[in-house]
Structure 1
């Protein structure tokens, strides 16, 4: 490609867009796949964008969905740029060369951020490396927080998930003009993005749209409807309005975001609490996605790449000094983890026996990670022998105490480890060869369905990245995960005798712990 090439122009179903040639790739940013979700469209499923005449410029990232900023404790590790504007249902495309003749594999990226933060404009998600290696990369913005996942009596549930489905349909219909093959679409995401993918590949409306899926640090799951309602009701109480979509739509957007952040500070991936999430809605999510994928016919032909980081929990416990605080709480923190996981005292006792040198925070963190993430992904892999591949990311950050924490693998997957935004989490001097290995595995999976190691079977092969030379371990988490097998058969998990006579006091202690987390992180 030469520097004097004219800008690439591609026609979409709604009008033509002009991108840019950058570093050997044609890049199109901010393409609308749906109309702005405001005014009469607020809290409603997405509608198609208005067609436009002429050629629309696609040289800059489009508006990001409304979201509160990260707290100072997290902002030093995670970047979350804001692009103002209402036209926030947009996507970006990186392609080696536009045109229907190429028929290249496609990877569609859904960002994480607990369904309340994040966007496709995060520099870590730059798609140049995928385009360089022959994969068309599409990254998507979707509604977040109360706008995308609030549960109201006068509006449909899961509008943010409907956004993602609309984007996926757009890709299936439009990507050939950008050089992609609509029959080779891989849907990939991390954290909340991976949770969304679990719901999407199980959705009746998405069958046939996806060939492969990548779930990074997020299992197929749904939230309890009452848990989401509590978020909405607490926001309504602070705002002194009814808990309806009509009332929320009348609130100043900045005040709404501020209130959402204040209410959400009492929730935590490790300690639980009210939070926004995908719910069963009788439509896109007719039942629990994990159950649908394990015992139903949903996505039977979809190949899976799934995994986690070794120390997921450290991103949530290191900021604000919570790691040491949880260690000091000792038995109360362990009891809080038991309440979070609804398990008996046998589980923490088993973890202590397997890891006698681990502190309380490590035991709590690994318990919660296994219960919420590794157990369901193991179950899903067991249901898809020969069609699932599992990995663990084990390289520890060069920053103090983070270890191989949640989201650390992203710079390696996208081969953007040199970006300042990746170094905020990884520190300086991340290994380039690990970038090559992980990014190459994702490219191979998108192109061929085989990332380069053996598929899941009874031996439980897990590809371990970053713990010395990359290698395959067999059943590395089986001993810990076996502790949960007996819990699944228990009718009502008992509480450790140490706390049996202190139920009210324990519940109060867990609430105090959540408030402490909120105060330290916000």
Structure 2
């Protein structure tokens, strides 16, 4: 049975829903709507609600159109201006629980915090409060424009973390035990914020799934923006892009992007990212434990993924997997530790351990909409139980059971779901470069 549930927070009175042991407060604005004069401006904290806020349904999404016609993750677009919102899922009667703050992926161009794959119901069972954050995307969130603060999307995330610190206790969360986690662009955002002096103290642990160093070069980005402006018939300026409806802008970006992997993303050289992320990681966030990894095939599933991996030229290796030992190497002086994992379970539907399919395992939501379409009819529930338990233990503050990584050859990693092996096994060398036989002979 679903009933109403009310909390009185510093942000104001918030009315959500309770279903069994699960409390959901959806689409709570943490900032003023980024429209009008606030579009292309730094986020402004939302004023206290003067009337009870209805948090019974998902909030508006910054995504007006998805990244492609079909996506692995169900990513609903919800219309509305209040796109800077977050959702809280908490256990009934919770007090002092650790908090998992989730940043969704989508190439910094798309993605939806309202995806059913991000529902925190299984974390509720394990005494964890989850928070899912919406942030500005594409041109509105990551275009380096004159007169516009850089990295608006990252600034949104920082303000959301401030909201969590101020309000999460009334939902049963501990503001001093926050784990920042994300996948794909979300995982890259976690690494970016971990490297940022501006983010210090806002979270105590970090998880990056299929993240990487996704910074966008300013020159290349500005070239793309000029082409985008030409396509739209507006100058590639703040005023020019502000004159274009967000949906039209996102459609044009999607069309102009073509098969490009990354065309917009965080840029360096401002107060949020003064240094490139690898350099920043060597000097910031070293007191924050980090768990990171990638899937075995990311965007290179399909036929003969193993032979593609051996070639050493895959997007998987260059964009995702190679980042893992680089992060560990940059953080080798960390006292808090860095741990690697590799997700290897091959989906019979996608033809490999492909991008995004590890999320339902870590979230333990194999019954969520769209999961069977991506994972086939019988994804292993035991693997989900193992992966979810490892993530829950990390969020609760426990050190992973396998050894720390330093970024050198033969680094230890936790391997999930490799065919013919244990469902979860500690291994070494999972992120060592694969050298083709002909190269070895030379």
Q: Does residue 1:310 correspond to 2:286, yes or no? A: no
Task: Quote the offset at 1:371 in angstroms.
Answer: 2.7
Q: Does residue 1:389 correspond to 2:339, yes or no? A: yes
CA-atom RMSD in angstroms:
2.3
Mapped to 2, the partners of 1:183 and 1:425 lie a distance apart of: 36
Mapped to 2, the partners of 1:119 and 1:231 lie a distance apart of: 24
- Could you say which residue in structure 2 is the equivalent of 1:377? 324
Distance change (3 Å), C-alpha of 1:204 and 1:479: closer
- Could you say which residue in structure 1 is the equivalent of 2:130? 137
Mapped to 1, the partners of 2:67 and 2:197 lie a distance apart of: 35
Distance change (3 Å), C-alpha of 1:481 and 1:122: farther
- Could you say which residue in structure 2 is the equivalent of 1:496? none
- Shifted more, 258-267 versus 189-198: the winner is 258-267
Task: Quote the offset at 1:232 in angstroms.
Answer: 1.3
Deviations 1:103-147 (A, max 9, x none): 111100000010111111011111100111101110011111111
**1:143-292 mapped onto 2 (5 Å cutoff):** 143-268=136-261, 275-292=263-280
Mapped to 1, the partners of 2:54 and 2:397 lie a distance apart of: 34
Choose from 367, 383, 386 the match for 1:418.
367
Cα pair 1:78 1:424 within 8 Å, conserved: no
Q: Rg bigger for which structure?
A: 1
Q: Does residue 1:293 correspond to 2:242, yes or no? A: no
Q: Does residue 1:16 correspond to 2:13, yes or no? A: yes
- Could you say which residue in structure 1 is the equivalent of 2:416? 465
Unaligned runs of 5+ in 2: 438-442
Cα pair 2:103 2:133 within 8 Å, conserved: yes
Mapped to 2, the partners of 1:143 and 1:183 lie a distance apart of: 26
Task: Quote the offset at 1:40 in angstroms.
Answer: 0.5
- Could you say which residue in structure 1 is the equivalent of 2:440? none
Mapped to 2, the partners of 1:167 and 1:422 lie a distance apart of: 28
Choose from 394, 398, 401 the match for 1:445.
394
SS at match of 2:318: helix
Cα pair 1:191 1:218 within 8 Å, conserved: yes
Deviations 1:183-204 (A, max 9, x none): 1100000000011111112222
Task: Quote the offset at 1:152 in angstroms.
Answer: 1.1
Moved over 3 A (4+): 361-368
Mapped to 2, the partners of 1:263 and 1:409 lie a distance apart of: 30
- Could you say which residue in structure 2 is the equivalent of 1:493? none
**1:35-54 mapped onto 2 (5 Å cutoff):** 35-54=32-51
Query: What's the TM-score once normalised by structure 1's chain length?
Result: 0.78
Mapped to 1, the partners of 2:288 and 2:143 lie a distance apart of: 30
Choose from 81, 84, 93 the match for 2:79.
84
Task: Quote the offset at 1:362 in angstroms.
Answer: 4.6
Deviations 1:78-123 (A, max 9, x none): 3210111101100011111366xx1111100000010111111011
Task: Quote the offset at 1:27 in angstroms.
Answer: 1.0
Mapped to 2, the partners of 1:400 and 1:425 lie a distance apart of: 7
Distance change (3 Å), C-alpha of 1:481 and 1:414: farther
Cα pair 1:304 1:388 within 8 Å, conserved: yes
Residues paired across the two proteins, number: 429
Query: What's the TM-score once normalised by structure 2's chain length?
Result: 0.91
Mapped to 2, the partners of 1:126 and 1:69 lie a distance apart of: 19
Mapped to 2, the partners of 1:199 and 1:479 lie a distance apart of: 24
